[in-house]
Amino acid sequence: MRKYYLDNIRWITVIIVVIYHVFYMYNAEGVLGGLGRITDLPVQYYDAFMYLVYPWFMPVLFLVSGISARLYLDSHSDREFIKSRTLKLLVPSTIGLFVFQFIQGYVSMSLGGGFDGLVSEGVPKPVIFLIMVASGSGVLWFMHLLWAYCVVLVLVRKIEKGRLTAAGAKTPLWLMALFIFPIWGASQILNMPIVSVYRIALYFVFFILGYYVFSNDEMVEKLKRIAVPLIIFAVVLCIAFTVMYFGENYADKPINRGFLYALDAYVGSLAMLSGFARFGDRANAFTKWMSSHSFGLYVFHYLGISSVALIIAKPGLLPAPACYILSLLAGFAFGYGLYAVISRIPFFRWAVLGIKKKKENVNVQG
């Protein structure tokens, strides 16, 4: 039986990611990567949205990915699992960079003036193209890490031979609360310099917890019983994190390695999981469409947002409110539009989206 609450978590979280990236593009809080401030406001209080969602929205996607991996492996072999994940995750995030995503690299480098020094120093064009390719990774970092986690999971499964899976189903609530400590510990290690989104250990813990603990129906039922307190606690933590750190770079150390950050990430993820399991385990035509198109929205949305920033906001062609609105609309238009087009073009749909055939009939949730 399909767990619709997992689908709903995915597409709603991706929408949150799109909105986040609009604020991130024009943020005034020193979080590098976008265009930066385009208003004359002394304080952009609406940037608080970034603080409210950043600690937990990617952890919950890795948690759900771990659960989905368990559901897939329950009826498929390890070989089929790696093959499917390589097609869906590795191909688009490697080959897709050369086929399409280098365009994102061009836009991102143009926003930051990255071409100026390269051209003036006479860097060969093939080298500049490779830099564009690397810069085009953008949101695909999630797929890089997730593919690597899937490979490691297969190795772990061969070692533990189902013992951890059985133990995970019996996890008591008090032990679930203690998981915050390995999460906090993981946030201290294997953090890539400069590219701060590659938090290898932290996200791996969420993925593994999803696979071994929260993929079990017994655990989900326990969470559903405490969904309301978890949601309230998560809201309190999000507000506390925002009040404490507003105006500082939440995406880098020491903030992103602090205990409050880890607690916010964990409780926020559990609040999403328990809340949707209890109140959002249903589907209709709209939610099914949103779910089936969420991957395309995730892959392409940032190109729309950054293109508006480069073409309209950077030269100041329109007032700041119009740039925000256009960026948001472009995020959805590029996300859904490019997915609709590229998913119908042979080779490109394989290289950019990991779609082997024009229409895939996927019966197993994964």
pLDDT digits (tens, 9 = 90+) for 14-66: 999 999 999 999 999 988 888 999 999 999 999 999 999 999 999 999 999 99
| DSSP secondary structure string for all residues of 280-298 | -----HHHHHHHHHHHHHH
Judge whether residue 360 has pLDDT over 60: no
Per the CB < 8 A criterion, the answer to whether 308 and 327 are in contact is: yes
The residue among 256, 123, 99, 292 whose CA lies nearest residue 183 is 256
Please list, in sequence order, all residues whose beta carbon lies within 8 angstroms of the beta carbon of residue 39, skipping any fewer than 6 positions away: 26, 28, 320
| DSSP secondary structure string for all residues of 47-89 | GHHHHHHHHHHHHHHHHHHHHHHHHHHTTS-HHHHHHHHIIII
- How far is 70 from 212, CA to CA, in rounded Å? 8
Q: Which two tokens stand for residue 326?
A: 């256009």
- Exposed e or buried b per residue across 285-296, where buried means at least 16 C-beta atoms within 10 angstroms of its C-beta: eebeebbebbbb
58: Cα separation from own chain's centroid: 4
Q: What's the pLDDT at 194?
A: 77
H or E stretch covering 241:
helix 227-245
Per the CB < 8 A criterion, the answer to whether 103 and 70 are in contact is: no
Tens-place pLDDT, residues 67-107: 999 999 999 999 999 999 999 999 999 999 999 999 999 99
Tens-place pLDDT, residues 147-186: 999 999 999 999 998 888 888 888 998 999 999 999 999 9
- How far is 203 from 59, CA to CA, in rounded Å? 6
Domain map (residue ranges) of the chain: 4-353
Collapsed DSSP state (helix, strand, coil) of residue 35: coil
Tens-place pLDDT, residues 201-226: 999 999 999 999 999 999 999 999 99
- How far is 91 from 311, CA to CA, in rounded Å? 30
Locus of tokens 């080779």: 347
pTM listed for this prediction:
0.94
